[in-house]
Structure 1
Amino acid sequence: MSTSTNRQSAEHLELIFEIYSLIPTTRKITARELHLALNDKGIARSKRTVQRCLDCLLTYFDVEQDATSKPYGYRRTANSKLALGPREHMVFLWAEAYLKTLLPPSYHLMVDSAFTPFSTPSTKRKLIDIRQSESSRTKETSSTVFETLCTAVFYQREVRLSLINVPQSLYVNPLGFIVEQGHLYLAYQYQDTFHVALIDDVLSAYLTTFAYHYPNNFSLNNIPLSKKELT
């Protein structure tokens, strides 16, 4: 197989992962909306190409299609609800409430989606109230950036990262997230060194198809936040 063919295949896979990262679980999204979202991110592809990628996602990924009316809607398959007792429900409510105080409002729908399997009619009432100082609240950040980073960390995929005060884009290996004093950081490996960046400082994140191996004997505990700036 030629180098150009390999490159085309890699770009096609990148596009599939990019479209997958844009498909929500709590609502449906149309092919047209996905096409516009890609354009907003600077990824120019035809509607037919987007549809072909969706057909692939329907076959191989946890994506379902609502064909009851046109335009068809797409969403990721929601998990079934779990049978939990009051104590377990309160623990999950506590975790959900804390995440919402930690993350900007644009992330709250994703939090709701993640905790949907644990919700019951009684949890519609507010049973947990977590309060933080104004200084610990994060700024409004792109939910697309956050979801892309989550996908990259989970699947161990390299990302192209654009950061505030860093002139060039960086191809990095995202290793995980760190929370300190109400602030959320991304820990990543760039070349042979480890760094930390505030999520608020990430301007854009593009998921590639290149996998990476998690560093041997590595722990997030070993990264001091003082190394958050690139050197």
Structure 2
Amino acid sequence: MSKRSSTQDSVALAFELLKRIPRSYQITARELHQQLQHIGIDRDLRTIQRNLEMLCTHFDIIRDDRNKPYGYRWSKHAGGLALPTLSAQDALLLSLAEQYLSNLLPTNLTHSFSGFFEEARQRLSPVTSNTKEREWLQKVKVVSDGQPLLPPQVCSDVFKSVSEALFHNRLLNIEYHNAKQDKKSGLVMPLGLAQQGTRLYLVCRFDGYENERSVAVHRVTKATVSTFNFERPKDFKLSQYDADGRFGFGEGNRCKVKFSITKSIGEHLLESPLSLDQQVQVLPQYYVISATVVESLQLKRWLAGFGDDVHSVEITSI
């Protein structure tokens, strides 16, 4: 390796360490070592320790050597570049992003921001904060519109590989099982990642096919990122894939649906219509609802879920 490359690597390592040393709590060399490994910077623990000692002599970083392992943090009075502090508003935004968007962020970005996430938690903790921003976290929540379910277990290595391949547009070898527990494998072109309730789905094209399919990430038992890149299909849009009802087991075909629903049960459809062209006929005991929607298995399951409160169902393909 040339001297120039070696110097650049040293500077890059020092910069990554500086970004990850917190101000309001201590972090150990081993914790920093693990964070760097997650983003692809592979250095031995002793190298990390030597760099931390060097940074302590050049920056306002405090080393707590009262007990091992030593802890490192920025001085409260550090200024300029040496003050990686977050405002209460920054901490609130990062806390909400970590809580609700962690599965939709590239894993390299999530690991890169791990220090900031921890800093945000410390910034909004009851010990260090008594702000309206901390109170806000107790005032908002995303709630389920159905029976709450625990999320299925996703292998962390699988998710890392899926995220990496999706981020870098690389082919992905997967082994998985379907709902019938049949084991399958294939080389796929990862095109999108979607969260539906508690489940994550990988939208992809299998090698040799021109259509897209959804694979439940929790059913993937092994995923290996290929060294080969691919060019994303210009005709594919994840938003259109969703609009076509593909996550509801549809094929994008439209239909006219008409049904009668008990007034007390169907009241919410007056507030949240099925479509822009929805029409409602008011009868003494029922609403007669008609609308143009995507024809899908999800639609049929939704109607069946009302039991005897829905009747006279007509679905006409367009």
TM-score, structure 1 normalization: 0.56
When you count strand as a share of all residues, which structure comes out higher?
Answer: 2
Correspondence for 2:228: 210
Correspondence for 2:97: 95
Decide whether the 8 Å contact of 1:96 with 1:115 is kept in 2.
no
Please give the per-residue CA displacement for 1:129-170, whole angstroms capped at 9, x wherever unaligned.
Answer: 546456343111210000011111111111111121354310
Q: Distance in 1 between the 2:149 and 2:47 partners?
A: 46
Q: CA deviation at 1:177?
A: 0.7
Greater RCO (CA < 8 Å, at least 6 residues apart): 1
Correspondence for 1:196: 214
Correspondence for 2:203: 187
Q: Distance in 2 between the 1:213 and 1:82 partners?
A: 38
TM-score, structure 2 normalization: 0.42
Q: Provide the alpha-carbon RMSD of the alignment.
A: 3.7
The change in CA–CA distance for 1:132 and 1:202 in structure 2 (over 3 A counts) is farther
Correspondence for 2:43: 64
For 2:212, what is the secondary structure of its paired residue? Answer: strand
Q: Distance in 2 between the 1:218 and 1:195 partners?
A: 12
Q: Distance in 2 between the 1:171 and 1:81 partners?
A: 46
Q: Distance in 2 between the 1:196 and 1:67 partners?
A: 44
Correspondence for 1:150: 163
For 2:113, what is the secondary structure of its paired residue? Answer: helix
2:216 counterpart letter in structure 1: L
Q: Identity, % of aligned pairs?
A: 20
Decide whether the 8 Å contact of 2:33 with 2:43 is kept in 1.
no
The change in CA–CA distance for 1:136 and 1:187 in structure 2 (over 3 A counts) is farther
Q: CA deviation at 1:88?
A: 2.6
Q: Distance in 2 between the 1:199 and 1:26 partners?
A: 28
Unaligned 5+ segments in structure 1 are 1-24, 30-53, 55-60, 70-79
Q: Distance in 1 between the 2:96 and 2:222 partners?
A: 30
The change in CA–CA distance for 1:67 and 1:169 in structure 2 (over 3 A counts) is same
Decide whether the 8 Å contact of 2:192 with 2:203 is kept in 1.
yes
2:93 counterpart letter in structure 1: V
1:188 counterpart letter in structure 2: C
* Rg (Cα) greater in structure: 2
Correspondence for 1:40: none
Q: Distance in 2 between the 1:111 and 1:182 partners?
A: 19
The change in CA–CA distance for 1:142 and 1:189 in structure 2 (over 3 A counts) is same
Decide whether the 8 Å contact of 2:191 with 2:204 is kept in 1.
yes
Q: Distance in 2 between the 1:160 and 1:227 partners?
A: 26
Residue among 146, 163, 169 paired with 2:176: 163
